[in-house]
Amino acid sequence: MAKVLVIAPHADDEALGCGGTIIKHKKAGDQVAVCIVTKPHSPDWSQEYIDNRIKEIQKAKEVLGVDQTFQLDFKAAQIDSVAHKDLNKAIGEVVAEFNPEIIYVPYGKDLHRDHQLVFQSCLVACRYRLGKILAYETVSETDIFPVFTKFFPNTYIDISEEIQGKLEAMKSYSSEVKQWPHPRSLEAIKISAQKRGSEAGLDYAEAFVLIKSTTKSL
């Protein structure tokens, strides 16, 4: 059994980036935790939205089978106003407490500044750790301006049996699901997984950039 940590800048990034992979880990008997780095806040979001987001997170957790959720207290879309050492420390404490062998992180060239800064802090927190670090793609952040943020995956995980679970997890975030042809529509998310699958000879896949893989022996 492996311990797996998914670090999500915002709630729903875990479902978008590696929802199928989370379900696959759970089927394999692995222990999975999700660290959500930010939360919506007033006055930028209504109290109704903030309260609903808590319910969405819980529902997605149940669909994915996540064992533990760490909710940090940073404000969404305002991480660039936080001292980077504070973000490093907060993420580092989660990594130290959960002690994972496999860590999934956002892609460092995503359009959203929160994603960029969380990625950098993840590398700081994990720089001396054994195990694997993989960066996931987030539709509408990783792919929106590909000429600047090109994602070159070198690892594919078969989610052919988990694609429906991934979509169900995304449905849990009803406030984030959009209508086709938006990239966060359920149709587009499914097509994206199908495209990644076709690149690897699979029906559906999630794609990652393997950042680091360290073992003590072969």
Contact (CB, 8 A) for 36 and 12: no
CATH number at residue 79: 3.40.50.10320
- Which tokens go with 84? 């980077």
Q: Has residue 59 been placed in a domain?
A: yes
What is the structure's pLDDT at 218? 67
Instruction: Tell whether 50 is covered by a domain.
Output: yes
Instruction: List per-residue pLDDT tens for the chain, 218 residues long.
Output: 999 999 999 999 999 999 999 999 999 999 999 999 999 999 999 999 999 999 999 999 999 999 999 999 999 999 999 999 999 999 999 999 999 999 999 999 999 999 999 999 999 999 999 999 999 999 999 998 888 889 999 999 999 999 999 999 999 999 999 999 999 999 999 999 999 999 999 999 999 999 999 987 76
Question: CB of 209 within 8 A of CB of 132?
Answer: no
Is residue 192 assigned to a domain? Answer: yes
Residue 116 resides in a domain: yes
Q: Which secondary-structure segment (H or E) carries 210?
A: strand 205-214
Query: Which helix (H) or strand (E) segment is 5 a member of?
Result: strand 3-8
In the chain, the number of structural domains is: 1
User: Does residue 16 lie in a domain region?
Assistant: yes
Answer whether 0.95 is exceeded by the pTM: yes
Q: Is residue 218 part of a domain?
A: no
Task: State the residue range of the domain holding 100.
Answer: 3-213
